[in-house]
Amino acid sequence: MSTAPLVSIEGISKRFGKTVALEDMTLDIAHGEFVTFLGPSGCGKSTTLRILGGFETADTGRVILDGKDVTALPPERRAVNMVFQDYALFPHMTAGQNIAFGLELKGMDKGGIRSRLEEIMTFLELTDYADRYPAQLSGGQRQRVALARALAPDPALLLLDEPLAALDANLRAQVQRELKSIQRRTHKSFFFVTHDQQEALAMSDRIVVMNQGRIEQDGTPEQLYFQPASRFVAEFIGDTNLLEGQVRDLADGEIVMDWYGRTLRGRSADAVPSRNAPVTASIRLEKLGVYTDRPDTDNVVPGRVVGKTFLGSRMLLDVAVDDAGEATLKAYVDSDHGRSLGDAPLWLGWDASGMAMLRD
C-alpha cells in the first residue's frame, strides 16, 4: 500500500450567499482510516462531506482522490459512495434491487452482480431480506441495506452522513460497534459525519472537530478528550471543569497558572501562551481525585462538598473551593465513597498531565 493519502483536501472554501460554510480547509485521509467530522450544525462538516461526494462544488481549492483531481467531477464519476442520513433507499425497489443498483450502473454482468450481491448481503446479514421493500424493513435493517448499497460498488471512500441519527438509543450503541467492525474488516476509509461526540469517541481512529467552517482540532479520540486544544473542543466533547486564570510561568513543557492565588500546573496541546496572559484550563471530572488528607499530586486545592448527584455506579460531586469566590469543581467518585463524604473539609488533587491549557 502506498503511503500517499487516499484523499487530499487542499484549501477548499465554500460560501452560501454571505454565509461562510468552509474556510480554507486542508486535510488528508489515509487508506483504511475511520475519520469522523464532529461539530454542531452549520459548522461545515456536512458541506465537506457533500464536496467529497460531488454534490457541492468548492469555491476554491482541490480534492484529490487516489492521486486524481476529482474537484470538478459529478457524483456518478467518483469512486466514492454515501450512506445518507435518511438512507434514501429507493421505495419501488426491493432491498436486493437497491443494493444491485450501483453494480448495474457499473456495467457489471448478471453473474457478477449476483455473486457480489450474495457476498455483500451475507457479510451484512441481509440475505433474508433481499426480496423485501424498504417499507417492510425496520429502521436498523434499512440502515444496513443503505450501508450494503454504498459498499457494494467497492468505493475507495465511504461517506456516512449521520447514519445513526434516526435509530433509537439502544440500537445505536450496537450499530456503532457493528459499523466499526465492518470498517476494520473491509479496510476501507470511512468519512463519518456526526454531531454526537459519544458516537465519534466510540468509533473513530481520528476525529476532526469543526467549528464555523474551520478545523478546531484534529487528533485521536484520546487526544481530543484528554488534551483538548481549545475551549470549544473541551466543552463540546465530554464534561469538563474550566478554570480561568493567568499564566505565571512556563517551564519544562508545563504551564504554571495562577488561579485564585493558587499555583496550578498543566500542559498545552497547542500554542504556548505568553506570560501573564489570561488562560483557561480544562480538567476532566474523572481526573480529579477526592481525598480526606492532603494528597501528593501536582495540583491540590481544598474545598467542601456542596452537592451530590447519584448516577448509579458513581456519584457526581460539586465541590466549593475554599477562598475561590463562587468557583466550584465537579468530580466523579465511587458511589460508596461519595456516600461516606460529609461536610468535612476535603482535598481535590490532580496531576499536571491531566490538565489541558486551552487556546480560546
* Binding footprint of other proteins on the chain (CB under 8 A): 53-55, 74-76, 80-82, 84-86, 88-92, 101-102, 105-106, 135, 149-150, 153
- Return the number of the residue (68 or 106) whose C-beta is nearest other proteins: 106
Which residue, 67 or 75, is less far from other proteins as judged by CB? 75
Separation of alpha carbons 153 and 190, rounded Å = 15
- Residue 240 in contact with residue 286, Cβ under 8 Å? no
Report the C-alpha dihedral over residues 350, 274, 240, 175, rounded to 10 degrees.
Answer: -110
Rounded CA separation 233/358 (Å): 9
For the chain, how long is the longest CA-to-CA vector?
77
Instruction: State in angstroms the smallest separation of the CB of 56 from other proteins.
Output: 11
Task: Supply the minimum distance, in Å, between the C-beta of residue 347 and other proteins.
Answer: 55
By the 8 A CB rule, do 150 and 183 touch? no
Decide whether 92 or 185 has the Cβ nearer to other proteins.
Answer: 92
Residue 57 beta carbon to other proteins: minimum distance, rounded to whole angstroms: 14
Closest-CA residue to 150 (of 77, 101, 199)? 101
Residue closest to 263 by CA, chosen among 289, 301, 302, 226? 301
Nearer to other proteins among residue 76 and residue 109 (C-beta): 76
Residue number with CB closer to other proteins (101 or 347): 101
Least separation in angstroms between CB 91 and other proteins? 5
CB of 156 to other proteins, least distance (A): 13
Ranges of beta strands (E only) in the chain are 7-16, 19-29, 34-38, 60-65, 68-69, 80-83, 157-161, 189-194, 206-211, 214-219, 240-251, 254-259, 262-268, 278-284, 289-291, 299-310, 314-321, 328-334, 346-350, 355-358
User: Angle 139-151/95-105 helices, nearest 10 degrees?
Assistant: 20
Which CB atom, from 123 or from 133, has the smaller least distance to other proteins?
A: 133
Q: Least distance in Å: CB of 92 to other proteins?
A: 5
CA-angle at 144, arms to 202 and 54, nearest 5°:
85
**Residue 132 beta carbon to other proteins: minimum distance, rounded to whole angstroms:** 12
Give the span between the Cα atoms of 100 and 152, in whole angstroms.
8
In the bound state with other proteins, the residue whose beta carbon lies nearer, of 54 and 338, is: 54
Positive/negative CA dihedral, 279, 284, 289, 295: negative
Considering the complex, state which of residue 33 and residue 56 has its C-beta at the smaller distance from other proteins.
Answer: 56
* Residue 97 CB, nearest approach to other proteins (Å): 10
Q: How far is the CB of 167 from other proteins (least distance, A)?
A: 17
Cell numbers describing residue 123 = 457479510
Residue 54 or 354: the one with the smaller Cβ distance to other proteins is 54
Residue 167, SS3 per DSSP: coil
How many C-beta neighbours within 10 Å does residue 216 have?
21
Q: List Cβ neighbours of 19 (8 Å cut-off, separation of 6 or more).
A: none
